[in-house]
Structures are given as C-alpha cells and as structure tokens.
Structure 1
Amino acid sequence: MSPVALDRRGLWIAVGAFVIWGLMPLYWHLLRAVPSLQIVLHRAIWCAVLVAAWLTLREGRGWFRAVVAQPRLAGMLALSGTLIAFNWGLYVWAVNAGHVIEASLGYFINPLLNVLIGVAFLHERLSRPQWAAVALAGCGVAWLTARYGSFPWIALCLAGSFALYGVIRKFAAVEAVRGLGVENMFMFVPALALLAWIELGGDGGFFSLRWGGWTDVLLVLGGALTAIPLIFFAYAVRRVPLSVVGLLQYLGPTLQLLLGVFFFGEPFGADRAAGFAFIWAGLAIFALDGVRAARRRIVAQQA
C-alpha cells in the first residue's frame, strides 16, 4: 500500500463519527416503545428530508440530477444506501432487543473484515501479523458460536454490511453530504410508502401522538443524528487511509460494549469474555502492526 499523508482534519472528523456511533444505543433506548422497523423508516425519511433541504439551500435543486446523470455513480450510491439502511435496521433492532454487546462485537470484527475485503477485492497483501490477527478473530467467533450454541449472525451481518458500505463510499467519487443525500433519496419513497401503509393499518402512532409528542420529536431528530456520523465517515474515509480508519473504529464498539455491560446490564460472563479476548488479541496485533507500518512509511518519506 502506498504511503498516504494523514489529513488531521479528516482524522478528528473520523473520531467524532465513531464516538457518536458508540453512544447511539442511549438514543435508541429512548425510543424503545416504538417498533424497530418504524424507527428505521423514520430515520430514512427525516434524514432524506433534512439533508435534501440543506443541499437545496446550499447548491440549488440540481444536486440530485447531477449525480443520477452518472449511472455508475448512481448505482453505487443506491447500493450503499441499501446497505446502510439494512445496517441501521439491524442495529436498532439489536439495541432494543437486548443485544447491545453482540452489536458491539460486529463493529469490533469490522476492521478485520475490511482487511479481508482489501485482500479479496483490492489485491492488497497481508503481513504475517495481520494474518495472525484475522486467525485469532476467527477463533473468537468460533468460540462464541460453540459456547452459546448459535452463530453470531447479528455481529457478522453488521460487520459485513458496514464494511461493504465503507468500500463503496471510498470509491464513489462524490462529496460526502451530496452522496448521503442521494443515498437517502433512493430510500425515501420505499420508506415513506411502507410507513404510510403501517400508519393506515393502525399499527403506527406518529400522527396520533400514540407514543407522546416527545417521542415523535426524537424520531424526527433521529434523522439528523444519524446523518451526522455518516457525513463525517464519508468525509473522513476519502481523506484518511483505511488502516487508520480501521484503528479508529475500535472507539465505537468499545463505548457500545461498556454501555451494554454497565448501562443495559447485559450478561458478560467468563465464556463470553474469553471469546471477546481472542478478538481483542487479534485487534491488538493488527493495531500494533499498523503503527509499525506507519512509522516505517514516515521514515522512508524522510529518508
């Protein structure tokens, strides 16, 4: 991998994105009375409305046409929008169904999955420490599956969908906010139609204030809250090396894990800790190898 100059602004924006994601379970917990599907539909709708309004004020009405006029780019953003909608949906359901710790596991696995995607699709080569890190993480997943009698599908689906989202957004040549706006506009009509069907069927509650006015306000604000880290991430991933982004991604799941144990009171016994220990060991090896590689690149540039 070729040396890439570190963009300090991009670095801090990436930190902000992962801290917001790490604390997000607290926000979804406030909406626990609302079915998870409806939370996700509201997120998609209000995120699309708010981002589209901002882009229209800033750039005029042509921002959407300028992107969809490029079929390849439009297709990439339609796919990334679908992936992030799936990711958010599963994540919200996991938090409100009492699976915060397993959700955090998904985002711990994500950096190592980024490495495997780099090997499979970007023709990147792994060092021996990186292969060891991936192997240890695989052992951790296998241990958790064996001890709990079920495959950690929540964690792996979250990791896989977000890893693919990051790859697509890295190569989608579009400004961060505009890309997010187009992603959400592709999701807007299906989300609005499904939410209208739920409301007309009597299972909703937004317009009737069934859950209370404060909950409705939180549903609207959820669109803005989830847009912010996505904008930050899309901005940073085009300016910061993926190896650095991979290291910073540990911030989010670490905060989620702490919330799962100390705020939500989910069980975290010795068996589960042992599985996580394999994964953390792999992450530590991966992080140390990344730091050493970065230092070697700096020395080579200064030589």
Structure 2
Amino acid sequence: MGIDLPLLWAIIIGFGLMMYVIMDGFDLGIGILFPFVSTREDRDTMVNTVAPVWDGNETWLAFGGAALLAVFPLAYSVILSALYLPLILMLAGLIWRGVAFEFRFKADEAHRPFWDKAFAWGSYIATVSQGVALGAFINGFEVRERAYAGGLFDWLTPFSLFAGVGLLVSYALLGTTWLVMKTEGALQQRMRKLGQPITIALLVAIAIVSIWTPYAHAEVAGRWFSLPNLLFFAPVPVLVLLATCALLKTLGGDSHAAPFVLALLLLFLGYTGLAISLWPNIIPPSVSIWDAAAPPQSMGFTLVGALFIIPFILAYTAWSYYVFRGKVRAGEGYH
C-alpha cells in the first residue's frame, strides 16, 4: 500500500497554517490592543514581548504559500485569483506594521505617535484581510475548466466580513493572554480585565459562525450532521464552553500561562470545526485534495525537502522562545 501523498501534504500544510495562526496571532493581537493602551512605557513593554520572535513567526505563512504552489497548484491558482485583493491588503498590512515596528523605536517624540498608529492599523488591516479571506474560502469558489470563474469582488460578502471581525477578536484574545503571561503589574492586570469581555465576544462570534455556516451551506450541514462526522464534531461545542469557562476563571485569578494555553485551545477547536466542515475539499465546495494535487513525482520530491526543513524550523523556533522566556519589565527587557 503506497503513501497517500495528497493526504500527507494536506496535513503538513494544515499544520503550517495552524502554527502561523498561533504564532503570528498573538503578535498581531498586540497591535490590535495598541488603541486600548495609552502610555508609551506600556506600549514599549508590549512590543518588547515579541521583539525577538515576531519576524520568525511569519515563516509559517511563507511555508504554507510555497507548499500550496508546489503540491496543490490548482488550488494555488484558483484561491489566489479569487482572493487577490484581500491577500494584497494582508501583505500590505504586514509590511506596514513591520516597518512601523522598527521605526517606532527610532522615532523622536514628535513622530512616535504616527508610527504607533501605523503599527496598530497595519495589524488591523492584516487581520481583517485574513479573516475575510477565510470567510470567502468557506463560502467557496466558482471553478470552470480548472480555473477561477468568479468575479473580482465575489469574496466580499456579509459572512466574509463577519469572519474578518471574528478573527480580529480571536487575535485580540491571543494578544491579551500572551501579555498576561509575559508582563506583570498594572499592565498585566489591565490585560486580565480586557481579556474577559474579549473572551465572551469570541464565544458569541463562534456561536454565530457555527449557526450561519451550516445554514448558508447545505454541503457543510451534511458533513456536520452525518455519521461518522457527527461523532467527531459533537464534543467540540462542549469543549468550547468548558474552555471558555476555564479561561474566564483563570483571567480572574492569578494564573499566568493558563489563559494563553486555553486561548490556544479555543482556536484549535475552531480550527478542527473548520477542517470537518470542508474536508476533503481544498477548493470548496467541490474540488478535493486529490483532484488538485500535483503529479506524485513532484509531491514526493518536495516532501523530502519539507521533512528535512520542518524540524529545523521547529528547532530554531523552540530555541528562540526558550532563550527569551520569562517576564518582560518596563525599561529592562527579559529577566
């Protein structure tokens, strides 16, 4: 029995995208939280918590895009053609916030507020663009003769816009819980208080999406409520409620790492729900991973490279987070 290369690559790309959501999510979340923190000292502390790792977090985004091109070229051509505008906005936001990240430390007092706003706006634009693209992906694409046949603005729907807002809330929660773990004193307490309404807002967003998605897409409803998928999906809503209650409790207590871990659990549960909803299609609503796959020789060749490079990415990522572990104090950095 041979290796199912499309399935293996779908798992690898899915893992890479999940790593990006986790690692760049709290990074973008810090920019999203900037308007809620007014003092320069607190803003500097917030940025310092991610300064050593923020650029490495986007490695997984580049990996996912390159892997999609190499192994699922049909999906790459259709998805990028359909989502050209939101993806361009996402890249512009990431570039803008990256420039602002560096310049805000070097700017004088007169120009510092401009770069703070640029950092925040870049984070908002990149996050909402990602959420809109995700919502449009769930809605599906019109494909004829192995090419995108839809319009330039087909991605712009009420559902995709709501998905953009939902991802904004998700990243804000990752940002608050990251800062609870990495800071102390008044800033940490502010993040604890801010994290509670954000958690409730995320629960509401998850509930709305969970109702809206099967209502708008009969094929998704069929996957959710048919066996054996129902057996896999049934525990997810219960786990979401339990994780939310635990997160609210830890935010109101004195735990440091637990809120961040629980926020990651909430995002992972949402990710599994998305996987169940779309599986096995990589171009919703009807093009599967096997239909969009490259020739086996290409997939096998690139798999060798991926299995070689992924351990190195994981190793240097783990090492960088280990080196810069601990709390960040205002004006002092790590300790």
Q: TM-score, normalised by structure 2?
A: 0.29
Report which structure shows greater RCO (CA 8 Å, sep ≥6).
1
Higher fraction of helix: 1
